[in-house]
């Protein structure tokens, strides 16, 4: 069941949802008795295609670089002070200086859409067969 190729989506989901050895054993027993799996009831499968997923992106920068980028901006000094207070800072692999400690700085948000990725795939396939 590691490589469920050829099984219907509901069966794979049901296998993954089985908790404990007894549930998995019952599933395998049903499979051995009925290879077509016609006797196993499949729950309806629903997948949100229009759902956007967001992921925050951070970058690790040395403190001296953060000061250089943000301290001259309005509110920048407070931002740097809050950043230092909220994070421990990671030792730089090439320096022991406190100004070279690495801190995570927010870069932006990546938004991905499943529907958009499907459309991109369809566009690529269309170009290949055009």
Q: Where are the chain's structural domains?
A: 1-46, 52-113
Residue 15: per-residue pLDDT: 73
Residue 123: per-residue pLDDT: 52
pTM of the model: 0.48
Q: Is 117 helix (H, G, I), strand (E, B) or coil?
A: helix
pLDDT for 66-92, tens place per residue? Answer: 999 999 999 999 999 999 999 999 999
pLDDT for 95-106, tens place per residue? Answer: 999 999 999 999
């Amino acid at each position: 069941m590691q490589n469920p190729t050829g099984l219907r989506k509901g069966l794979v989901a049901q296998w993954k949802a089985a908790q404990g050895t007894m549930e998995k054993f019952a599933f395998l027993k049903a499979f051995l008795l009925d290879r077509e799996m016609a006797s196993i009831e499949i729950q309806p499968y629903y997948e949100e295609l229009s759902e956007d997923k967001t992921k925050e992106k951070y970058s690790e920068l040395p403190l001296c670089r953060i000061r250089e980028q943000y301290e001259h901006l309005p509110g920048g000094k407070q931002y740097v002070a809050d950043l230092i207070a909220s994070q421990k800072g990671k030792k730089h692999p090439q320096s022991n200086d406190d100004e070279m400690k690495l801190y995570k700085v927010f870069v932006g948000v990546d938004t991905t859409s499943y529907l958009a990725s499907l459309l991109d795939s369809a566009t690529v396939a269309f170009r290949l067969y055009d």
